[in-house]
Amino acid sequence: MGPKKVARSASSDDPEELARVPLQAVLLADSFATKFRPITLERPKVLLPLVNVPMIEYTLAWLESVGVEEVFVFCCAHSNQVKDYLNKSQWTKPPSSFSFSVSTIESHDAISAGDALRVIYNRSVIRGDFILVSGDTVSNMDLTQALEEHKDRRKKDPLAVMTMVIKHAKPSSTTLQTRLGTDEIIMGIHPETKELLYYEDKADHLQRVILLDKTLLMENPALRLHNDKQDCFIDICSPEVLSLFTDNFDYQHLRRHFVKGLLVDDIMGYKIFTYETHASYAARVENFRSYDTISKDIIQRWTYPFVPDVQYLGIGYQAKLERQGIYRAPDVILSRSAHVGAFSFVGNGTTIGDHSHISTSVIGQRCVIGKNVVIESSYIWDNVTIEDGCKLSHALVCDGVHLRAGVILESGVILSFKVEVGQKLVIPAYSKVSVLPQPCKQDSDEELEYADATSGVIESPSITSVANARNQDLLSDMLDVPGSDANKVGISGVGYIWSVSEAEHDEEWRFSIAPIPKEKLEKFSHSAHDDNDEVNHDESSIPASGELIPDSDGTDFDGGVGEDYRDSADFENEVEATFRRALAGVDVQNVILEISSLRLSYNMSHADCAGALFYAIMKSASDISYSNNTELSANTKMEINKWKNLLKNYIKSQDEEIEVIMKFEEICLETIREFRPLFTDVSMWLAQTSIASG
């Protein structure tokens, strides 16, 4: 219904396009996540520089290279910045856009990818299959084959609405993380058709087993389960995808809701397929760790041709590749005694002072770096001033930051825009510093990136004044104090250290730029091992493979039999225990009450109660010492006499009487063989005491 409407409206606009639908792409210029906070409070994620080039450039350049002719950039948070950027960029200028047009779609109330697609649907701009990517994708893959496969499949099966691009990436077995810092994803794929049958991200690590629904294997004789694939978040979609989002207005997340929804709820039988790319590069900047990894990949030229020394991406100048993977912009002032190590990038107009040491880092434009500065594995953006003697390792420093002399950034530190750090301060590991105060409202489930002027987050009075006021406090306590949202960054410093909640703090190291510390790894492998042990325990206690099911000759057996049997045995034991309490002097009325409640909880009949009780009585009778059968008989009769009132509570009809006799027969045959010779004798007695009418 939906797509037809789209097609009609499109055809009325542009009849000659009917023959050939241009390849379209939807680029989501908003990640709808908060992973890059606090930076994204001030600048949208897609404009953050990745090796000195805004991320969106990589995505647009790739889209152009795969033959996309029309790109719709959906912007939400900071939409003005994105629009401004695009207007200034080469993409919207006439000469470059001979067959490549970029237009923006703006919405301010979209809070998720689902909302975004619904907005796009309402605009009716998508006419055929389209590529759905987010603006933080870095790839050099050739989509031709994937597109062809998608189209062929669509011809045969109109229900194949989406093709997901996946790539081999094995997560570490200790941290269960890929090198991009994403959690392991478990996918079930049909071995021949490559249909996606199962998808689980955000895997719960405590849950050590994957549950595959039984219908899954009933419908498919074979299924390949992967945890060594990475979701590239490049999807080839049919127009139905958009209408599906509109029909299911509660879908927010592309994967968690849409993919799972299609797989689990089986909506209209729509299917999702996968396409695996082998040699080419495809990744998405999802968090700081992937930012780090992808930056290094770009510097090491895995993303060729999208590398800094090829004239590309509106950078304005061409960096020169020197030995050891060092890229240097043309206009760098480097002190003779400064040293730039392998796999580094130094941007235009940057000055580096004497005896400074830089390794595997990216430094932006117009930075001023003082003397004796050590920078390793860090990302310094534009216009940063680093005074003498600073030490940075595994840090991310945004535009306009000023580090005064002697500042030490421990690993994993994020300094957002225009932060100033006072002299000789040590910023503890994994801190995030911003000139904006931390929003006190913690979005719980759907993380939104929503710091546009429309939201009330940044309504604090003049930031610097607040910061300066606070700066008059002492500078001793630099550690995060939970509860206080502002911490000082030293004398003449500007900025707040964002406090992280306990739970988040635990996770911080997982997604940080810094490599995972050794002790964490050890702890992790230790706990993983414990997990295993635990699993082992509960697995052996739960008969996961039907260990309790009797199976005489290896043929199939119903599990119900075993369970039933166990229940009734339990019941008998309970009744016996209750009866023993009666022997020990508990009031008979209470015993009756207890047995009645047992009967209800085990869902037994009166006859079962009578049988179990009778068994208990006989057992107690046999427990009394005796020397010969007559004595035993006498004991038994005495016991029966003693408890016949109790027993009669449960003997209401002939059924129960029969049950008692049967039980007695069973006792004689199986459990207490001593009664064998007394069978007739005791049966007579039962008849006499009118327990059994004979």
Partner 1 sequence: MDFQVVVLAGGASKNLTPLVSEEIPKALLPVANRPVLSYVLELLESSNLKDLIVVVEGSDAALRVGGWISGAYVDRLHVEVAAVPEDIGTAGALRAVAHHLTASDILVVSGDLVTDVPPGVVAATHRRHGAVVTALLCDTPISGISETGSKDKAKKLGRYNIVGLDPTRQFLLLIASGAEVEKDTRVQKSILGAVGQMEIRADLMDAHMYALKRSVLQEVLDQKDSFHSIRQDVLPYLVRSQLRSEVAKIEEGWNTTITSKTNLIWLSQHREIAPSAFHNGHELDANGSLSAQSTHKCCAYIAGKNKYCARLNSIQAFIDINRDVVGEASHLSGYSFSAQNNVVHPSAELGSKTTVGPQCMLAEGSKLGDKCSVKRSVIGRHCRIGSNVKIVNSVVMNHVTIEDGCLVQGSIICSNVHLQERCVLKDCQVAALWKVPQSWRLKFKLSYLLSGFV
Chain residues in the site for partner 1 (CB under 8 A)? 170-171, 173-174, 176, 184, 186, 188, 191, 203, 207-214, 216-218, 220-229, 525-526, 528-529, 532-533, 535-536, 539, 544-559
- Among the listed residues 172, 156, 360, 188, the one whose alpha carbon sits nearest the alpha carbon of residue 274: 188
Q: Which two tokens stand for residue 618?
A: 């006989």
Burial class (CB in 10 A: 0-12, 13-18, 19+), 188: buried
> How near is the Cβ of 531 to partner 1 at its closest, in Å?
8
> How near is the Cβ of 194 to partner 1 at its closest, in Å?
13
> How near is the Cβ of 570 to partner 1 at its closest, in Å?
16
- Smaller CB distance to partner 1: residue 176 or 321? 176
What span, in angstroms and rounded, lies between the C-alpha atoms of 457 and 498? Answer: 14
> How near is the Cβ of 222 to partner 1 at its closest, in Å?
5
- Smaller CB distance to partner 1: residue 547 or 666? 547
- Among the listed residues 205, 96, 127, the one whose alpha carbon sits nearest the alpha carbon of residue 527: 205
Contact criterion met (CB below 8 Å) for 451 and 41: yes
Q: Is 432 helix (H, G, I), strand (E, B) or coil?
A: strand
> How near is the Cβ of 225 to partner 1 at its closest, in Å?
4
> How near is the Cβ of 203 to partner 1 at its closest, in Å?
7
> How near is the Cβ of 227 to partner 1 at its closest, in Å?
5
> How near is the Cβ of 169 to partner 1 at its closest, in Å?
10
> How near is the Cβ of 516 to partner 1 at its closest, in Å?
15
Give the containing element (helix H, strand E) for 231.
strand 229-237
- Smaller CB distance to partner 1: residue 224 or 520? 224
Its sign, for the CA torsion 126, 128, 132, 135, is negative
What span, in angstroms and rounded, lies between the C-alpha atoms of 333 and 161? Answer: 54
- Smaller CB distance to partner 1: residue 184 or 608? 184
- Smaller CB distance to partner 1: residue 549 or 658? 549
- Smaller CB distance to partner 1: residue 171 or 495? 171
- Smaller CB distance to partner 1: residue 1 or 218? 218
- Among the listed residues 82, 428, 341, 690, the one whose alpha carbon sits nearest the alpha carbon of residue 352: 341
What span, in angstroms and rounded, lies between the C-alpha atoms of 680 and 692? Answer: 13
> How near is the Cβ of 191 to partner 1 at its closest, in Å?
6
Which residues make Cβ contacts (< 8 Å) with residue 692, sequence separation at least 6?
651, 657, 658, 660, 661, 683, 686
Q: Where are the alpha helices (DSSP H) in 248-303?
A: 260, 288-299
Contact criterion met (CB below 8 Å) for 40 and 352: no
> How near is the Cβ of 526 to partner 1 at its closest, in Å?
7
- Smaller CB distance to partner 1: residue 544 or 593? 544
> How near is the Cβ of 544 to partner 1 at its closest, in Å?
7
- Smaller CB distance to partner 1: residue 118 or 190? 190
- Smaller CB distance to partner 1: residue 224 or 366? 224
What span, in angstroms and rounded, lies between the C-alpha atoms of 307 and 321? Answer: 10
Main-chain phi, psi angles of 74, to 5 degrees: -95, 120
Which residues make Cβ contacts (< 8 Å) with residue 228, sequence separation at least 6?
168, 169, 170, 171
- Smaller CB distance to partner 1: residue 223 or 672? 223
> How near is the Cβ of 680 to partner 1 at its closest, in Å?
28
- Smaller CB distance to partner 1: residue 66 or 166? 166
- Smaller CB distance to partner 1: residue 482 or 543? 543
Q: Is 275 helix (H, G, I), strand (E, B) or coil?
A: strand
CA atoms within 13 A on the CB side of 603: 2
Residues in the chain: 694
Its sign, for the CA torsion 588, 589, 590, 593, is positive
Q: Which long-range contacts (CB under 8 A, 24 or more apart) does 626-635 make?
A: 629/677, 629/678, 632/674, 632/675, 632/678, 633/678, 633/681, 633/682
What span, in angstroms and rounded, lies between the C-alpha atoms of 4 and 80? Answer: 33
